[in-house]
Amino acid sequence: MRIDKFLWCVRIYKTRSIAADEIKKNRVSVGNNVVKSSKEIIPGDLIKIRKNQIDYQIKVLEIPKSRVGPKLVSLYIEDKTDKEQYEILKMRNLNQDYYRNRGEGRPTKKDRRSIDDFTGSEPSSDTADDGWDLFFSQNDSEEDEDAV
C-alpha cells in the first residue's frame, strides 16, 4: 500500500491529499529516508512523521484494506513516539491563551452574560426607560405652543 494512503487509512491525516502534501514537504520518512507518496509500505517499517511541531514515530504492524475506525487503529500501527514529545505537546497546549486579554475588543456574549450575572442587572428590552418618549413628547408640546 502507498504511504499516503496508509497514513490516511490509519487516521494520521484527515484526507489523503493532506497526507500527500505533507510527504511532499519532507515531513514523513521511512527509517531515515525521506520518501515520496508512491513508496510502498510493508509490515515492520518505522515511519517518522513531523506533525504539529512534534516528531511522531509509528511502526507498521499490518496493512489495512481500507480506512479503519479509530478503535481499530491499534491493530495496524504501534506508537513508538518518545514520551518527551507528548510532554512538549501538553506544555504547548497549556501555554496557549484561549481567551482574549482583558480590555481587548468587545465583550463576547458569554462575557456580557457573566457581567450581567455579576452586577445583578438584566438587559431590558423596554425602550420607555431610555427617555426617547419623553424627548419626543416635549418636542410635540413645544410645537403645539408655537402654533397657538
Q: Is 142 exposed, middle or buried (0-12, 13-18, 19+ CB in 10 A)?
A: exposed
DSSP 8-state assignment for residue 98: -
Confidence label for 129 from pLDDT (cuts 50, 70 and 90): low
Confidence label for 67 from pLDDT (cuts 50, 70 and 90): very high
User: Residue 138 corresponds to which cell in the numbers above?
Assistant: 416635549
For residues 54 and 72, what is the distance between their CA atoms, to the nearest angstrom? Answer: 23
Q: What percent of the chain has pLDDT over 90?
A: 39
Q: Mean pLDDT score of the chain, rounded to an integer?
A: 82
Q: What percent of the chain has pLDDT over 70?
A: 78
**For residue 102, is pLDDT > 70?**
no
CATH architecture of 3-86: Roll (3.10)
